[in-house]
Amino acid sequence: MASAELMRLWKLNQVDVGLVEVRLKAANLDVGKKIAAEMAELKKQDDEIGGKARKLQADLTDLEIMQKGIDEKIKRIDKQLFGGTIVNPREVENLEKEIAALKRQRDATDAKILQLWEVLPPAKEAAGKLDAQIAEKQKQLAERKKAALVERTALEAEFARLNKLRPEVVKGIGPGLMNKYEGIRQRMGGVGMAEVTRRHTCSGCGTIIAARSVQSLTEDKVVTCESCHKILYYTEGVV
């Protein structure tokens, strides 16, 4: 069996391993970067596809306004012609010519409008599909951010709990062993201890522990792994 001091140190190590895990989880917290990137890609597509639909719609509106303007002009000239005020044949002829020109203009506008009626619905549908996809991504992103906030709060609570626990666990560990442990911990990314497995390997790095080291461990001596230099914790195969 490990000495009482080493057992305390092992407990401290478990607290420190917990702190390392919490830090790692906090650093790797998924705040929706992937979803945001996918949304940015969709928005880029929308600039093109949605932009095309918006342009076609604007063209159609322009043509419809133009069509209305032409109709009004024709109506106005018709009124003049049949109002009985114009009697000069030359003037009548001119107005009739003007009406004929306006009607040609109207036919051309009608043809363009018909063309737009064909291409606008599919363009609008494609843009609408993209808009729906973007809205869905936005929803996903908001949900992920909300979940990340909950996860972060939980991690912060766990971090505070472990930090509060630490001074309690440190009690009963001599300064010599404590200094050694802290030195290793600092060099080894926050973890200063490793368990010896049943097959007498270091759980930290997998190195086989020499028989003489195992012997020392059974004598309650402080032994470090030859390879990763962590303090070994040995429970004679109990664990």
Task: Give the DSSP H or E segment for 209.
Answer: none
User: Which CB atom, from 22 or from 223, has the smaller least distance to Zn ion?
Assistant: 223
Q: Which of 145, 124, 125, 128 lies closest to 34 in space, CA to CA?
A: 145
Residues 157-176 that bind Zn ion (CB under 5 A): none
| Contact flag: residue 225 with Zn ion (CB under 5 A) | yes
| Contact flag: residue 184 with Zn ion (CB under 5 A) | no
User: Which CB atom, from 99 or from 205, has the smaller least distance to Zn ion?
Assistant: 205
> Between 175-187 and 4-27, two packed helices, what is the crossing angle to 10 degrees?
30
182 near 189, Cβ under 8 Å? no
Interface with Zn ion (CB under 5 A), residue from 19, 35, 193, 228:
228
Phi, psi angles (nearest 5°) of residue 128: -65, -40
200 near 192, Cβ under 8 Å? no
Q: Which stretch binds Zn ion (CB under 5 A): 20-28, 120-128, 136-144, 222-230?
A: 222-230
User: Which CB atom, from 173 or from 228, has the smaller least distance to Zn ion?
Assistant: 228
User: Which CB atom, from 141 or from 225, has the smaller least distance to Zn ion?
Assistant: 225
Q: Which residue has the tokens 């719609």?
A: 57
HSE-CB of 234 using CA atoms within 13 angstroms: 23
Residues 199-218 that bind Zn ion (CB under 5 A): 202, 204-205, 207
Nearest 5 degrees, angle CA 73-CA 78-CA 82? 155
User: Which CB atom, from 191 or from 205, has the smaller least distance to Zn ion?
Assistant: 205
Q: How far is the CB of 226 from Zn ion (least distance, A)?
A: 8
Q: How far is the CB of 204 from Zn ion (least distance, A)?
A: 4
User: How far is residue 232's CA from residue 214's CA, in Å, rounded to a whole number?
Assistant: 10
Q: How far is the CB of 190 from Zn ion (least distance, A)?
A: 15
Length, in residues, of the chain: 239
Q: How far is the CB of 194 from Zn ion (least distance, A)?
A: 5
Task: Give the DSSP H or E segment for 227.
Answer: none
| Contact flag: residue 227 with Zn ion (CB under 5 A) | yes
User: Which CB atom, from 98 or from 195, has the smaller least distance to Zn ion?
Assistant: 195
Binding residues vs Zn ion (CB under 5 A): 202, 204-205, 207, 225, 227-228
